Amino acid sequence: MQWLDRESAVVGRTTSLNDLYPGEMCRVMEITGEGPVRRRLLDMGVVPHQTITVVRDAPLRDPIEIQVGETFMMLRRREAERVVVTRLTKGSAS
């Protein structure tokens, strides 16, 4: 079952940042919705065309840590869900 899910992680498919596994890289397409969250993400460099790497999950799986350029930042899954991305690589960790 688990590996089937991994299979679905096709490179180039549009998905949400929340669905990526640690180690996977992606490119930001857009941030959906309005309000301060979106704004904060944009200001912190999560802008369209930016490449992002998912670094790790917190021990309780939420929040997640991502690398944006030179910075490392954390965000909750609820916020990550709003970031639409395309996968660039397939993750090695799961």
Partner 1 sequence: MSTLKPALSRHHVLVALSGQQNSGKSTIFNALTGARQHIANYPGVTVEKKSGRYGDSGLSVEVVDLPGAYSLTSFSLEERVARDFLTQERPDVIVNVVDAATLARGLPLTLQLLELGVPIIVALNMMDAAKRRGLTIDPLELEKRLGVPVIPTIGRRGIGIADLRAAIRRVAEAPTRPHMLVDYTVLEPFLHELSTSIEAQTSHSSSVPPRWLAGIALDSGNQNRAVDASLSQRANDIRQKFERENGISAADHIISCRSHLAKDITAAVTVSTHAGSVPLSERIDRLVLHRFAAPFFLLATIWTVYELAIVQGYELTKVTWPILASFRNWAADILPSAGFLWDPQIREIGLWMVDSVNTLLNYVPIFLILFALIAILEDSGYMARIAFILDRALCRFGLHGQSTLPLILAGVFAGGCAVPGVMATRAIPDTRARFATILIVPFMNCLAKIPLYTLLIGMFFTESKGLILFYLSTITVIAALLVSKLLTVTLLRGMDVAPFVMELPRYHLPTVRGVAVRAIERTWIYIKKVGTVVVAVAVVIYALLQYPGLSNERLTHFQAKGEDAIAAFAETIHGNRFTPAVSERSQLITALNVLTSYKSAKLNAGSREASKAIDAELALKHPDLTPFILRSKDAESRTAASALKALSDSRNDIRREMKNERLINSFLGRIGHALEPVTQFAGFDWRINVALLSSFAARESSVATLGVLFNQDDNEAARLEDRISSDAIANYTAVTAVAVMLFFALYPPCLATTIMVRVQTGSYAWMMFSILFPTFLGLFVASTVYTLSTVTGIDGLTAFTVTYLIGVVALFLVGIGIPRRRAIINPPSQAQTLEREG
Q: Which residues bind partner 1 (CB under 8 A)?
A: 4-5, 7-8, 15-16, 18-21, 30, 34-37, 39-45, 47-50, 55-63, 65, 67-79, 81
- When the beta carbons of 56 and 90 are compared against partner 1, the nearer one is 56
Calpha distance 24→9 (Å, rounded): 10
State the DSSP H helix or E strand holding residue 78, giving kind and residue range, or none if neither.
helix 77-80
DSSP secondary structure code for residue 1 in this structure: -
Shortest Cβ distance from residue 64 to partner 1 (Å)? 9
Beta bridge partners of 41: none
Shortest Cβ distance from residue 81 to partner 1 (Å)? 8
